[in-house]
Amino acid sequence: MPTHSMVIATVCLALFTASAAFAEGPNVGKPIDAADIAAWDISIQPDGTGLPAGGGTPADGARIYAEKCAQCHGPDGKGGVAGVAAAPLVGGAPITDISAATKTIANFWPYATTLFDYTRRAMPWQQPMTLTNDEVYALTAYILAQNNLIGENDTMNAQTLPKVRMPNRDGFIARFPEAM
């Protein structure tokens, strides 16, 4: 019959052996490095931090819009076509209070960089993240020009896009003003 000391020694040995095995891990997956994380870290800040290289004009964006966006957002960007409830991208009366029925890019969004970020992540909705950076810049330029927020000949890129002043920029309370 084992003694109390032998039982304690056996339990300690089992725990020590198990902890050594768990320290090695279950060997599921592979270690991730900074380059792997960077490929998924596509966040764009209001000041333009994170914007990629590239650029585009409203004219380039008009061609891309006709091919990849109009079928949902309509030919003029003012809302979805029959059977598609896509949000309007152009127009919208000034917002006077939070209950405004139609919030659009021009009357609600506080930063032009948000348009780039959202378009790159989510559009086209049936194939998100398939647009090149140049296509996203061009679409952003086209939508901003259609809303009379930039000129028809302006180029949007990592330097110019953060400088676009959106009409409702001051309509929000910054959660982290020190980061602005």
Burial class (CB in 10 A: 0-12, 13-18, 19+), 103: middle
Domains (ranges, CATH) in the chain?
45-179 (1.10.760.10)
Q: Is pLDDT of 165 > 90?
A: yes
Report the DSSP beta bridge partners of residue 19.
Answer: none
Q: Which residue, 166, 21, 156, is CA-closest to 108?
A: 166
pLDDT at 88: 86
CA distance 133 to 52: 7
**Identity of the residue numbered 153:** N
Which range has the worst mean pLDDT, 60-64, 93-97, 128-132, 144-148?
93-97
pLDDT score for 23: 55
Q: What is the pLDDT of residue 5?
A: 61
Q: What is the pLDDT of residues 6-57, one digit of tens each?
A: 556 565 555 565 555 555 666 787 888 888 887 778 889 999 999 999 999 9
User: Reduced to 3 states, what is the DSSP secondary structure of residue 177?
Assistant: helix
Mean pLDDT of the chain: 84
Residue 157 confidence class, pLDDT cut points 50, 70, 90: very high
**Dist. CA 10–CA 13, nearest whole Å:** 5
Question: Is 60 exceeded by the pLDDT of residue 98?
Answer: yes
CB 134 within 8 A of CB 96: no
165: number of Cβ within 10 Å: 9
Coil/strand/helix, residue 111:
strand
